[in-house]
Amino acid sequence: MADLGTELSIDPVDDGFILVGEIDAHTAPRLETVLAERFEAGAATLRLDVRRVTFMDSSGLRIVIAATETARGRAGDLVLVAPAPSVLRLLDVSGLSEHLTVETTGT
């Protein structure tokens, strides 16, 4: 199978992660792992800075939905911070923008 060249940088910060690149079938499993590890360490709320995510497909949506359910089950939340226009469009088209916590201005 050819390498499609997709990359995702996942940088941990105190309250979550800064993501840079693409979230797709090739990169989503690693994101899923780091989120699960942070929840297992006791986190309830995580913030994902996605301002520099250039592409997200259904694999990324699945991870976001699962992490949101995990966080809310812990009386927390998953916050998507400053999504790029392409990510916002995906959230809108999928009908998830009203069900997820999205901060359109970065901190």
**pLDDT tens over the chain, length 107 residues:** 344 557 999 999 999 999 999 999 999 999 999 999 999 999 999 999 999 999 999 999 999 999 999 999 999 999 999 999 999 999 999 999 899 999 987 55
Pairing of strands 78-81, 101-103: parallel
In a domain, 54, yes or no: yes
pTM for the model stands at 0.90
d(CA 55, CA 66): 19
Question: For residue 79, is it within any domain?
Answer: yes
- pLDDT at residue 6 in the model: 76
Handedness of CA 35, 71, 12, 26 (dihedral sign): positive
Q: Evaluate whether residue 95 is within a structural domain.
A: yes
For residue 53, tell me if it sits in a domain.
Answer: yes
CA–CA gap between residue 85 and residue 47 (Å, rounded): 18
Question: Residue 37's domain is classified under what CATH number?
Answer: 3.30.750.24
User: Quick check: is 8 in a domain?
Assistant: no
Residue span of the structural domain in which 57 resides: 21-103
67 occurs within a structural domain: yes
Number of structural domains found in the chain: 1
